[in-house]
Amino acid sequence: MAGTKRENIKLGMTVNIVQKQDQRTGKLTQGVVSKLLTKSPNHPHGIKVMLESGLVGRVKEINE
């Protein structure tokens, strides 16, 4: 499932995000979604979310 569509991402889901400082390396961080920050229905680089840990990044992978 793509992390580029807002409808695919729900609160409490486990996802892999890329943080701003990791965009060049592509390093992914796993966590649980606590807030959806992107308002538009889709975004080409991934929907921006805040994890329960407080980290912010764009969703690259959704873990089922």
Question: How high is the pLDDT of residue 21?
Answer: 97
7-62: pLDDT as tens digits? 999 999 999 999 999 999 999 999 999 999 999 999 999 999 999 999 999 999 99
CA 32, 30, 58 angle in degrees (round to 5)? Answer: 85
Answer whether residue 58 is part of any domain: yes
pLDDT at residue number 2: 79
Can you tell me which residue has the tokens 């890329």?
Answer: 18
Q: Return the structure tokens found at 13.
A: 């889901």
pLDDT at 58: 97
Residue 14 maps to which CATH number?
2.30.30
Q: Is the CB of residue 47 less than 8 Å from the CB of residue 61?
A: no
- The total domain count for the chain is 1
Is 1 inside any structural domain?
no
Instruction: Decide if pLDDT at 1 tops 70.
Output: no
At 47 the pLDDT is 97
